A and B are shown apart, each in its own frame.
Chain A
Amino acid sequence: MRRVDNTMTTARISVVGVGGGGSNAVDSMASHWENGPSLIAINTDGQALGATRSATRLQIGEPLTRGMGTGGDAKIGKLAADDAFESLQGLFRGMDLVFVVTALGGGTGTGAAPVVARSAHETGALVIAFATLPFQFEGERRMAQARQGLIELQDQADVVIVIPNQALFAAAGPDATAGEAFRQADYFLGMGVFAIWKLLTQRGIINLDFATLRMVARCSGGTSVFSYGEGKGPTRVADAIEAALHSPLLDNGKALAESESILVSILGGPDMGVREVESIMSAIEGVARKEAHIHMGTAIDDSWQDTLAITLVASRFWRGEDEADDRTLADLSEEEGATVTAATPKKKKKGGATQPQLILESISKGIFKDVEPTIVDGEDMDVPTFIRRRISVDK
């Protein structure tokens, strides 16, 4: 756990909602936040875009859709974003962290979000995507389209945090209406983004800086899940633990036990003490695997007096820091600035990078183990694509 307090308070962060669902979620954040990160809404539907409260609005695919949306066709969403690629890069230039928030299943969110993530990534930002999967009642077609979009989004973002809406339905109770369920989804999405943003910008008992977040993001593989729990009053700690750990989003806690990496954010008022943080952490360590990489940070906000919220981001896959790509470590050393000379971590990286890669090859080449490898641009194509891209596959 790193406790270096550096430039995190000045990290440039933007939150971009893609498509109708994504824009709605960002919208609900806008109404709760003051002095929050810059909010951007991107949509093909001009009318829906006009109604958002985001500071920046970008309509894409205008000639393609005549401003009428994609009609649920992800192909059109993708084309629209492709055409606007340069404007997208302009939006993200200079950003350190971009949250891409989207509801997968529809046309714009599914098709455009991967392109938006790629454009942000190419400008050098860390990209954390929050994506909801459709409710069952939205139909099998949307679900299939959403799954396809998820694969593509995983390809482009550093981390994709998945929120299966159907699980929220279970949480909302048997009588919940569709409208309530959607609002609940928006609220959870908003809180997820809010918690990470707070973590980076607010001073706490234990700080989690941007470099650590980036390391966690790049080392965690593919799809991640997240949960959120809050509590108020004297039982706030126990309530928040109960809600976060047994959230339906974590498959009632099962996902946590299978995770290789867990990011914990604790948000509280000035009355939050070390003892409370400790009891939260020991509850999490109690369910997590022994070898799991747990990173934690706290944020204190004056308006959160007597209130506490826990946000967990759990990933099933972790590759060692040594294996993370060159850029990560080079950037990390930059981040550390004057205290560390650039040469030291670079040297370490070279030594560390070769060995884990060898292990990876021997276990994951199957029938191509003994034949001349197919190397394209330095990548060993005999290793399955899903392993090289660190994408988790439903077994």
Chain B
Amino acid sequence: MGLAPIVALEIGTSKVIALVGELREENHIVITGMGEHSSSGVRKGEMVDFENARICVKEALGAAEETAQVAIHQVHLALCGGNIQSLVNRGTIPITNTKEGVTQDDVEQVTELARSVTLPPDRQVLHSIGQIFYVDGERVARPDHFDCSTLALDMLLLHAQNNHLRNTVRLLRNDLNIDVADTAFGGLCSALAVLTPEQKEGGVLVIDLGGGTTTFTAYAGGIFAAAGAYAIGGDHVTNDIALAFNVPRSQAEQLKKTDGNAIAETPDTRPPRIALPAEVGYPGRNVSLSGLQTVIHLRMSEIFQLILRDIERRGIGHQIGAGVVLTGGGAQMKGLIKLAERIFRTPCMVGRPMGFSGLAAATEKPECSTTAGLLRYAFKNATGGRRRRPVLESLISMFTGR
């Protein structure tokens, strides 16, 4: 054994979740601690009120420490801001050594080249994931020893705005004395938590529906092919309802959770109007069930259509044979699977973290997909002996003076 427990932290728009995990034999992850706290001070996945956010993070980490019986000094951080985007960059080099064909040096060189893109100064690369090698334009799984004249590599690069990342790291480091060991894109983490290898091979789209943002991650032919995020989430649905029926936000949230449907139910045996009790400044009233469905339906189908168009533009719209997996807190909405099936025209399902044991609460809820997946990501890197990424190194040194 010998691997220390890892803490995964997600500072979401509606919830802060911290999970503590330990790696057992055969790469099995046991979740030993969990802390969650409703979030405030976060809008659209990004901190806007640092004092409130600090309190929420402190509470969540405190609860995780208590259940896991560990002291937390370091976390892995999931990033779910709506500013995260992906692009595919191709690096090509000539192969001059005709005797040995492609060498290890060539592979490193092409990897470096594919990884280097010029981004606007306010953005930085979050992940760079090698996709496909090409020797003289032909796809190959491994290029070693191929006799060819050019070698190319497609690299998927996820990039994010660095000021948000910097703010979060600063808050944890300076105000809570917590070190950030690594960061990862939340959408990628969710995919790692809920997908089977068969789904990745068949081509699959994972949509993580959060409170402030919706992220998506697509696999085609076993390869991580695209990712992105939109700063549109469950809060938008709530806000739409509040504005449509002129009800306070808390009632709108309640309406969404208890009576909300993304698609009309057939047959619907519920009464056509929903009674709402009076609240300060708002008289008691009732609202139309079909009106509520209309508001939710329009918003949710718009989000799905944005994502569909996005992956179609990237040319992978037809490659998601294994379907669509919805996860995140928003995935629990009634009728959402049906709506997704209608729009993506492929089987859809709700994805929950798979292959974890320990605290039952964490392993069953789709809103824990991101943090559970982050644990998997972190342990994979820890056992793979991967270095700490230079990006983060530089960020951390900024605050610690190391």
Chain A residues in contact with chain B, CB under 8 A?
75, 78, 139-141, 144-145, 147-148, 151, 155, 364-368, 371-372, 374, 376, 381-382, 384-387, 389, 391, 393-395
Question: Can you list 10 A-B pairs, Cβ within 8 angstroms, ordered by A?
Answer: A148-B264, A148-B297, A367-B242, A376-B230, A381-B232, A382-B236, A384-B295, A385-B295, A386-B240, A389-B298
Q: Which of B17-25, B53-61, B284-292 contacts A (4 or more CB under 8 A)?
A: B284-292
Contacting pair B44 A384 (CB below 8 A): no
Partner of B263, one of A148, A386, A391: A148
Question: Shortest Cβ distance from B219 into chain A, in angstroms?
Answer: 24
Question: Shortest Cβ distance from B256 into chain A, in angstroms?
Answer: 13
Contacting pair B82 A391 (CB below 8 A): no
Cα distance, A368 to B237, chains bound together (Å): 12
Chain B residues in contact with chain A, CB under 8 A?
43-44, 48, 82, 230-232, 235-236, 239-240, 242-245, 249, 263-269, 287-288, 290-291, 293-295, 297-299, 302, 306, 342
Question: Shortest Cβ distance from A350 into chain B, in angstroms?
Answer: 27
Contacting pair B264 A145 (CB below 8 A): yes
Contacting pair B243 A364 (CB below 8 A): yes
Question: Shortest Cβ distance from A162 into chain B, in angstroms?
Answer: 13
Cα distance, A151 to B300, chains bound together (Å): 13
Contacting pair B232 A393 (CB below 8 A): no
Contacting pair B240 A384 (CB below 8 A): yes
Contacting pair A144 B266 (CB below 8 A): yes
Contacting pair B295 A393 (CB below 8 A): yes
Partner of A151, one of B236, B243, B294: B294
Cα distance, A77 to B21, chains bound together (Å): 49
In the bound complex, residues from chain B placing their C-beta under 8 Å from that of A148 are: 263-264, 297
In the bound complex, residues from chain B placing their C-beta under 8 Å from that of A372 are: 44, 231
In the bound complex, residues from chain A placing their C-beta under 8 Å from that of B82 are: 374
Contacting pair A144 B236 (CB below 8 A): no
In the bound complex, residues from chain B placing their C-beta under 8 Å from that of A367 are: 43, 235, 239, 242, 249
Across the A-B interface, the 3 shortest Cβ-Cβ residue pairs: A394-B291, A394-B288, A384-B240
Contacting pair B267 A144 (CB below 8 A): yes
The verdict on A368 contacting B239 (CB below 8 Å), with A384-B299, A393-B291, A395-B288 known, is: yes
In the bound complex, residues from chain A placing their C-beta under 8 Å from that of B235 are: 367-368
Contacting pair B239 A384 (CB below 8 A): yes
In the bound complex, residues from chain A placing their C-beta under 8 Å from that of B231 are: 372, 374, 381
Contacting pair A385 B240 (CB below 8 A): yes
Cα distance, A394 to B296, chains bound together (Å): 13
Question: Shortest Cβ distance from B327 into chain A, in angstroms?
Answer: 21
In the bound complex, residues from chain A placing their C-beta under 8 Å from that of B249 are: 366-367
Contacting pair A366 B242 (CB below 8 A): yes
In the bound complex, residues from chain A placing their C-beta under 8 Å from that of B294 are: 147, 151, 386, 391, 393-394
Contacting pair A145 B266 (CB below 8 A): yes
Closest B residue to A150 by beta carbon equals B294
Question: Shortest Cβ distance from B268 into chain A, in angstroms?
Answer: 6
Cα distance, A145 to B290, chains bound together (Å): 11
Contacting pair A371 B298 (CB below 8 A): no
Question: Shortest Cβ distance from A164 into chain B, in angstroms?
Answer: 13
Question: Shortest Cβ distance from A111 into chain B, in angstroms?
Answer: 10
Contacting pair A366 B342 (CB below 8 A): no
Contacting pair B244 A386 (CB below 8 A): yes
In the bound complex, residues from chain A placing their C-beta under 8 Å from that of B239 are: 365-368, 382, 384
Contacting pair A374 B291 (CB below 8 A): no
Cα distance, A371 to B230, chains bound together (Å): 15
Contacting pair B298 A391 (CB below 8 A): yes
Partner of B44, one of A78, A364, A374, A394: A374
Contacting pair A75 B266 (CB below 8 A): no
In the bound complex, residues from chain A placing their C-beta under 8 Å from that of B265 are: 144
Contacting pair B306 A376 (CB below 8 A): yes
Cα distance, A387 to B240, chains bound together (Å): 9
Known: A368-B44, A384-B240. 9 other contacts (CB 8 A): A364-B243, A368-B236, A374-B230, A376-B230, A385-B240, A386-B298, A386-B299, A391-B294, A395-B244
Cα distance, A49 to B287, chains bound together (Å): 41
Question: Shortest Cβ distance from A115 into chain B, in angstroms?
Answer: 12
Cα distance, A240 to B142, chains bound together (Å): 81
Closest B residue to A364 by beta carbon equals B243
In the bound complex, residues from chain B placing their C-beta under 8 Å from that of A78 are: 342
Cα distance, A326 to B249, chains bound together (Å): 35
Question: Shortest Cβ distance from A293 into chain B, in angstroms?
Answer: 24
In the bound complex, residues from chain A placing their C-beta under 8 Å from that of B291 are: 393-395
Closest B residue to A145 by beta carbon equals B266
Contacting pair A144 B264 (CB below 8 A): yes
Cα distance, A393 to B290, chains bound together (Å): 8
Partner of B267, one of A141, A365, A371, A391: A141
Closest A residue to B310 by beta carbon equals A376
In the bound complex, residues from chain B placing their C-beta under 8 Å from that of A151 are: 294, 297-298
In the bound complex, residues from chain A placing their C-beta under 8 Å from that of B268 are: 140, 144
In the bound complex, residues from chain B placing their C-beta under 8 Å from that of A144 are: 264-268
Cα distance, A151 to B262, chains bound together (Å): 12
The verdict on A141 contacting B266 (CB below 8 Å), with A371-B44, A381-B236, A384-B243 known, is: yes
